[in-house]
Amino acid sequence: EELERLYSEIHLLKTLKHKNIMKLYASWVDIANRNINFVTEMFTSGTLRQYRLKHRRVNIRAVKHWCRQILKGLVYLHGHDPPVIHRDLKCDNIFVNGNHGEVKIGDLGLAAILRKSHAAHCVGTPEFMAPEVYE
């Protein structure tokens, strides 16, 4: 059942096509080493967290541009059929191409395909969860 769910999620990731969602080109399971390998597009500046640690002062216009890109990616995911909820959106899961001022949402490994009215399980990074999740 877990392997079936994994293949389902990998298939989902391959079908997502949006300029603000990280592209997944290929994947394979290495059974001998118990690894799952992904080939994605390259991001020259790493994650948003890494970028912000390296560049303490960032122009507010750049930050606004990043926010718009992230929101466009979220609108795409939530408007997908079936809707996709990232469930662990944080600076470590936003990837940056500093030269182009481009950010993309990545690490959709915890993403839930929303088949019902809401996600059934509580997952993600506790520090970034909405308070109502704890109720």
For residue range 72-93, list pLDDT tens digits in order: 999 999 999 888 888 889 999 9
Catalytic residue among 30, 88, 92, 107: 107
Q: Is 43 left (phi over 0), alpha (psi -120 to 50) or beta?
A: beta
Give the integer Cα–Cα distance in Å for 36 and 27.
Answer: 7
Q: In Å, what is the CA distance from 105 to each residue of 1, 5, 18, 28, 125?
A: 27, 21, 10, 21, 16
CATH superfamily label, 2-125: Transferase(Phosphotransferase) domain 1 (1.10.510.10)
Tell me which of 105 and 87 has the higher pLDDT: 105
Q: Which of the residue ranges 21-25, 27-31, 42-46, 101-105 would you say has the lowest mean pLDDT? A: 27-31
Domain locations in the chain as residue ranges: 2-125
Whether 107 is catalytic is yes
Q: How far is CA 111 from the centre of its chain?
A: 8
SS3 label, residue 132 = helix
What mean pLDDT, rounded, does the chain reach? 82
SS3 label, residue 105 = strand
**For the whole model, what pTM was predicted?**
0.76
